[in-house]
Amino acid sequence: MANRHTIILMQTSPNRSTRTFMDYESISQAMDGICGLYERKLKELNPAIRNITYDIADLYNFIDGLADLSALVYDHSIHAYYPYDRQWIKQRTFQHLKKLAH
């Protein structure tokens, strides 16, 4: 599952004009991208704090606070993208961060 093109579809607020997407070469890079979005948001909200820390519950709250979030992951066997929901993204970000911690 490592090198599978992944598209993250996101809507940050109920306003449809906030819909956007980001694409990555792998699921791992996509999870890094989601963490990066959250980290940039934290820096924006706390510009005076140099070293910002957060735990998985904080990241989950950020993910749950988005109006919409889903992923499309390319499956080579069917030559198409397979959709995944917010819950799957939360599980994958947790696994990704756990891997980075070791």
Question: Alpha helices of 23-80 — where are they, by DSSP H?
Answer: 27-45, 56-65
Amino acid making up residue 67:
A
pLDDT band at 35 (very low <50, low <70, confident <90, very high): very high
The region, left, alpha or beta by phi > 0 then psi within -120 to 50, assigned to residue 23 is beta
* Element of type H or E holding 96: helix 86-101
DSSP 50: S
Q: Domains in the chain, please, with CATH? A: 6-101 (3.30.2260.10)
Tokens of 18: 């906030």
Q: What is the pLDDT of residues 42-93, one digit of tens each?
A: 999 998 888 888 999 999 999 999 999 999 999 999 999 999 999 999 999 9
Helix (H) or strand (E) holding 11: strand 6-11
The answer to whether 30 touches 24, Cβ cutoff 8 Å, is: yes
